[in-house]
Structure 1
């Protein structure tokens, strides 16, 4: 077992992220390095975080092709685009690009399970930073479910255009909300028919660590303010150790050059949710019971190790009428990076 504060090999994220600067064909690298590239046939500029949405879609497509897949997303390859495999090779090590880093599949399945278990008949669902999420099309929803997908207009337009090539329709009422989460997005959600008096299930997958710490807190807090008692939320967070590990530096640098840097991490995920209006917080990690699915090749690292590349899967609820101000002197982003 490695000593506290040091990263032993057994605690590395399985297969890792890219440790070399180049692992894609030259043509693909040119496309990936062009931060204003338009996706062919759509006229839509996909840069920054939108580009990482295509990377994530490519990871879902790879998982779907496995015989032991944790979920079935037959739309993912279409959304990833022709250079989806190149995105995987660019951001991951060679082994992870081919075999699959288990973090993303586990995360996707965990969010699927949260929604299946938490959404009841007539419930509102809100996907914050919905990106190229396809759950409206691939999950079975209870009658009367209304799903609001909140993201930048360009991302939603790209997804609409791509999905128009197939005959499938959403399995619930799906409403897109073009809004920038770095600004005032609440009014746009209300204009789309969101009812703050109704029970809501929120999910923010692969979102908060792309935001500055104060903004990540503001998004979570705004969701609480818009929620009725009985509402639920699921988010994923990263620990601050990720920003201190030398072997993560090439991966983080690639994200920064792509215009979508990881900016926020916290070592107190439960407190982060509590200080921003939520209650009944539960935290798990990939590899732990309920977030393993037979894919995590080693047991979850003990919490006493402070400098590991931790990833948190967090749920919370709301039993009151909404959040009050944080306690005097309390930060809305405890244990945060930066």
Structure 2
């Protein structure tokens, strides 16, 4: 997946969040999303819905609300947050973070620069640190140089990223997170099932993503194992469960994707 394709994906997600924020009863309100998406994002969203249908946006909407709640829950006990592949996410500006929270956003330098430019003059609701780094490389030193304290618990969010990586890259990413996490850390991530990558109903969406240079490469049917294999304790939620609870899932079928909340216990190995 090229850097340009990553940037386009971030713009598309911002457009979906902007569209949700305009609903009468939105699952969340993101007053920055429309600016971040721009006209390019609106056109991308219209094209994706035309090709793949309205359901193609449901998982992004549901996961945004789900991770909003999970992050605020995690920061009741953890004061540093790292959002990997943060894209055009505006949580640092829109969530009611507890006092003393630091949020470090990591993404490609061009994506970080674009977001910083659009939101210049806005006041984040936490201590925000933006870090331009290539997540395909070794970004650990850059993150600690940016202020991460590996001796203190961290809440990590990996949102909407794993399906774009190959299996080796996924496992390297988790190993780096694990090495930087003190006991008491929380790891939040979403991932699609392996079965979803070949499901007939996904043909339109998968073709659309591949055409824009961001094909889906990775899925797993036992998503908790990504963290559990490193000694974390994981709770797995099928995306359809909160989707139905929020009244925003189109049918009773499983969602084909998972949300995982993992905790590193007091005896976790660094």
**Match in the other structure for 2:195:** 241
1:46-99, CA deviations, whole angstroms, 9 ceiling, x for partnerless residues?
7111110100000000000001100000100101111222111222237845x8
**Match in the other structure for 1:259:** 213
CA shift, 1:278, in A, is 4.5
CA shift, 1:284, in A, is 0.7
SS at structure 1 position matched to 2:258:
strand
Q: Does 1:296 align with 2:249?
A: yes
**Match in the other structure for 2:92:** 136
Name the structure with the higher helix share: 2
Aligned 1:153-192 pairs, distance under 5 A: 153-164=109-120, 167-192=121-146
Using the alignment, how far apart are the partners of 1:194 and 1:291 within structure 2?
36
* Selected match of 2:73 from 93, 117, 122: 117
* Selected match of 1:311 from 233, 257, 262: 257
TM-score (norm 2): 0.93
CA shift, 1:262, in A, is 1.0
Bigger radius of gyration: 1
Deviates more, 1:215-224 or 1:226-235: 215-224
**Match in the other structure for 1:23:** none
Q: Does 1:286 align with 2:243?
A: no
Query: Are the aligned partners of 1:229 and 1:321 in contact in 2 as well (CA < 8 Å)?
Result: yes
Cα 1:179–1:215 shift into 2, 3 Å: same
TM-score (norm 1): 0.75
Aligned 1:1-338 pairs, distance under 5 A: 47-93=4-50, 96-97=53-54, 101-120=57-76, 123-164=79-120, 167-275=121-229, 277-288=230-241, 292-301=245-254, 310-320=256-266, 322-323=268-269
CA shift, 1:288, in A, is 1.2
Using the alignment, how far apart are the partners of 1:278 and 1:298 within structure 2?
35
CA shift, 1:240, in A, is 1.1
Using the alignment, how far apart are the partners of 1:121 and 1:102 within structure 2?
30
Cα 1:230–1:223 shift into 2, 3 Å: same
Q: Which runs of 5+ in 1 are unaligned?
A: 1-34, 37-45, 302-308, 325-338
Deviates more, 1:123-132 or 1:80-89: 80-89
Using the alignment, how far apart are the partners of 1:278 and 1:105 within structure 2?
30
Query: Are the aligned partners of 2:187 and 2:263 in contact in 1 as well (CA < 8 Å)?
Result: yes
1:289-323, CA deviations, whole angstroms, 9 ceiling, x for partnerless residues?
5873121233343xxxxxxx601011101014655
The alignment yields a C-alpha RMSD, in angstroms, of 2.2
Report the number of matched residues: 270
